Amino acid sequence: MTKGVFQGPLLRVNDYLWRIPRSYKPGMRVDGLIYADDYLIEQIRNDQAPEQVANVAFLPGIQYASLAMPDIHWGYGFCIGGVCATDPEEGGVISPGGVGYDINCGVRLVRSNLHLRDVQPHLKTLIEELFRQVPTGVGRTGKYHFDRHELRKLLAEGPRALKERGLVTDADLEHTEARGKLEGADPDLVSDRALERGSEQCGTLGSGNHFLEVQVVDDVFDEEAARVMGLEKDMVCVMIHSGSRGLGYQVCDDALHMLRNVPQKYGIELPDRQLACAPVNSPEGQRYIGAMRAAANFAWCNRQLLMWQAREVFSTVFGKPWQELQMNLVYDVCHNIAKFEEHSIGGKRRKVWVHRKGATRAFPPGHPEVPACYREIGQPVIIPGDMGRASWVLVGQAGSMEQTFGTTCHGAGRALSRTAAVQASKGRRIDQELASRGIVARARSWKGLAEEQPEAYKDVDHVVEVVHQAGISRKVARLRPIGVIKG
């Protein structure tokens, strides 16, 4: 979080939407729109993230509005929770700040046929074994190693490249956004430094807000959608939140260096250097897009291998193959990405680059990119919360296509900076506080748990209520954590 109260106008549109008029700053091409209720907007005012919403409105080719979800907070260039679409036919740009450093950071949910009564007696053993077997923490390497040729194949093909090692199933691919592969990925555009950083990190969790949680379905709000996804009350699930690790970070860093003077080259005036961008159809724009897509494919491989390791641990602890435990992937969705999509804008169908920075795709029922098994209910939307309260499963709604380029929130959103969270944790044992709530938590350091304590985040129930009421995604099930591993 960045200190300082936002001084600009926030005009109410309705109970769940606020507008920053384009007249606020000379150079804004469109309005800013922020999804929030009265409670959340007061928190949002106390951060400078709305200023970033206004700044994004300067980008050439931006369509409709610069958008922000209710989990909005300060980020690099774009706010976390920021969404914008740019049209290449109108000089639209691509901006790494609208994707983020952790390219294709995302989340996947795995269901099982185990229930709370089955897992509770083995919970501590299960979490300890997950913590031992799943690599977590800064710079940690994993048990999967790929030579240069194999790594480039992962970047080009995504998880389907893991078939040769028997580490992915057809069902896993079917239940992954974009089937785990962005076409047009170009490993040749990924630097040697990025490849080096990623060579031993595929299948590792990382640090920060990344986690692997054992969760239980706490409540069901849409029985039919839950049935289609194979979810029911008291069922035990696994949620995995991670991204492209050092490889994706380096791809973003390389791009920002490349783009440092590019806006000036193309006569683009920006209010913030962190919005560095290039016209989509320029050589520089195409270079970033090819590398970004490759990093996104790597991230899907990373989450696939994290899931595979979790399946193996469950199999060991419960003495049955993961297939017998029905540990099937419900869905994998990303929330740090830019994709070329067709949307209706001003009554016309247009292809635009949708930047989702800390924001989740939420396509509605009937959309051709929703897997066939979910097409009647809409795309599953997975929203992780903090490790002490809850996470959510939703489905996309038609309102998302009308309002947000098929997008919803991605999480709870930080309420405290990491520094402030650590300061607030002095003299406390976060692991013991979580244990008092029935949650077994393991992390590499005290600081890791302190930074991610529940109080560091907004209440995800509140955030989800906004997107539900706004009609961009609908509540299906609430899941509460019973075991957490973090870096």
Active site residue 343: no
Q: What pLDDT, in 10s, does the model give residues 338-373?
A: 999 999 999 999 999 999 999 999 999 999 999 999
Can you give the pLDDT at residue 140?
A: 76
Q: What pLDDT, in 10s, does the model give residues 274-314?
A: 999 999 999 999 999 999 999 999 999 999 999 999 999 99
What does the buried/exposed string (b/e) look like for 384-406 if buried means 16 or more CB atoms within 10 Å of the residue's CB? bbbbbbbbbbbbbbbbbbebbbb
Helices 283-318 and 123-133: crossing angle, nearest 10°?
A: 140
Please report which confidence band the pLDDT of residue 446 belongs to, taking 50, 70 and 90 as the band edges: confident
Q: Is the pLDDT of residue 265 over 80?
A: yes
Q: Is the pLDDT of residue 437 over 70?
A: yes
Range of the domain at 205: 11-486
Please report which confidence band the pLDDT of residue 447 belongs to, taking 50, 70 and 90 as the band edges: confident
Q: What pLDDT, in 10s, does the model give residues 378-419?
A: 999 999 999 999 999 999 999 999 999 999 999 999 999 999
Task: Assess if residue 44 is contained within a domain.
Answer: yes
Q: Is the pLDDT of residue 334 over 60?
A: yes
pTM above 0.95, yes or no: yes
Q: Is the pLDDT of residue 3 over 80?
A: no
Beta bridge partner(s), residue 442: 485
Task: Assess if residue 353 is contained within a domain.
Answer: yes
Q: Which of 343, 410, 462, 468 is catalytic?
A: 410
Can you give the pLDDT at residue 189?
A: 98
Q: What pLDDT, in 10s, does the model give residues 196-208?
A: 999 999 999 999 8
Q: Is the pLDDT of residue 111 over 80?
A: yes
CB-count burial class (<10 Å; 0-12, 13-18, 19+) for 51: buried
> What is the C-alpha separation between 303 and 217, in angstroms, rounded?
21
Q: Is the pLDDT of residue 439 over 70?
A: yes
Q: What pLDDT, in 10s, does the model give residues 128-155?
A: 999 999 999 887 788 999 999 999 999 9
Can you give the pLDDT at residue 137?
A: 84
Q: Nearest-CA neighbor of 67 among 77, 57, 75?
A: 57
- Distance from first CA to last CA of the chain, Å, rounded? 21
Please report which confidence band the pLDDT of residue 2 belongs to, taking 50, 70 and 90 as the band edges: low
> What is the C-alpha separation between 80 and 356, in angstroms, rounded?
9
> What is the C-alpha separation between 267 and 27, in angstroms, rounded?
13
Task: Assess if residue 2 is contained within a domain.
Answer: no
Can you give the pLDDT at residue 102?
A: 97
Q: What pLDDT, in 10s, does the model give residues 55-105?
A: 999 999 999 999 999 999 999 999 999 999 999 999 999 999 999 999 999
Q: What pLDDT, in 10s, does the model give residues 213-249?
A: 999 999 999 999 999 999 999 999 999 999 999 999 9
Q: Is the pLDDT of residue 487 over 90?
A: no
CB-count burial class (<10 Å; 0-12, 13-18, 19+) for 341: middle
Can you give the pLDDT at residue 357?
A: 98
High-pLDDT (> 70) share of the chain, %: 99
Q: Do residues 70 and 43 make contact, with C-beta atoms less than 8 angstroms apart?
A: no
In this structure, what CATH number is given to the domain that contains residue 230?
Answer: 3.90.1860.10
Task: Assess if residue 3 is contained within a domain.
Answer: no
Task: Assess if residue 165 is contained within a domain.
Answer: yes
Can you give the pLDDT at residue 114?
A: 98
Q: Is the pLDDT of residue 24 over 80?
A: yes
Q: What pLDDT, in 10s, does the model give residues 175-201?
A: 999 999 999 999 999 999 999 999 999
Indicate the average pLDDT of the chain.
96
| Total structural domains within the chain | 1
